[in-house]
Amino acid sequence: MSSFTGSTSKLPTLLPGFNREEEANITVHCHDRTFKSVDVLDDSNGQTLFTVSSKGASSLSWRRAIFDGSGRKLFELRHMGYAMKNDWAVEDVEGKRICSLKHINGMMAQNRSNLDAVIHGESAADDIGNTIEIRPRDRGALSTVVQYQGIELATIMNTEANDVTSLEKKGLDRTVWKARINTGVDISLILVAVLCLAEMEHVWRQ
């Protein structure tokens, strides 16, 4: 796997304006089990880059709304039903699906956190060959690499997992994640990967 040294225009972009000319490091605090409150911080200055909120899962889907640091809604991450075998969709503020994520290689324990993502183009033909691979390096998905056409986009680490009662009273987050994001990579795209991994951790209690 190689680092990217060419034009950043060749990298997959979910939303314009969220890539940087230098490596970025973020921390994602999932405060509760159902993503009612999530804060995404820039490690370089402690500022809030994104927030996430959710009303929890329904029989039809589980929606999480993602906002930038100013409170502007960017998109929703929607899981189609509660079952992990179902796809996730990223929908823009107008409800258009702009990205899809799905499990691959079955649901066996050693690969159940493997995901493929595609940012949709103008037609289905644009999606061919543009798969973003999200691959845990271990069974518990404590370390995960995000790659595109052999290029490493980011490394995601699960640094804290508290499967205990009374999280708020104990001053604990349900999970905490850190991502090292390579130069030119869209931070919002990596956040989507983190949220999917976090959901699997919360539901499966890996």
The mean pLDDT value for 49-56 works out to 92
Q: What is the mean pLDDT of the chain?
A: 88
The mean pLDDT value for 86-94 works out to 94
**Is the per-residue pLDDT at 75 higher than 50?**
yes
In a domain, 38, yes or no: yes
In a domain, 5, yes or no: no
75 close to 18: Cβ distance less than 8 angstroms: no
SS3 content of the chain, % helix, strand, coil (to 5): 15, 40, 45
The mean pLDDT value for 132-143 works out to 90
Count of alpha carbons within 13 Å of 89, Cβ hemisphere only? 15
- Cα four-point dihedral sign 19, 22, 23, 29: negative
In a domain, 10, yes or no: no
How many domains, the chain? 1
Residue 125's CATH number: 2.40.160.200
Please report which confidence band the pLDDT of residue 57 belongs to, taking 50, 70 and 90 as the band edges: low
Write out the residue range of the structural domain in which residue 63 sits: 23-204
In angstroms, rounded to a whole number, what is the distance separating the alpha carbons of residues 71 and 50? Answer: 8
In a domain, 1, yes or no: no
In a domain, 13, yes or no: no
What pLDDT shows up at residue 38? 97
Tell me the per-residue pLDDT of 2-48, one tens digit each, with 9 for 90 and over.
555 555 558 999 999 999 999 999 999 999 988 999 999 999 999 99
In a domain, 8, yes or no: no
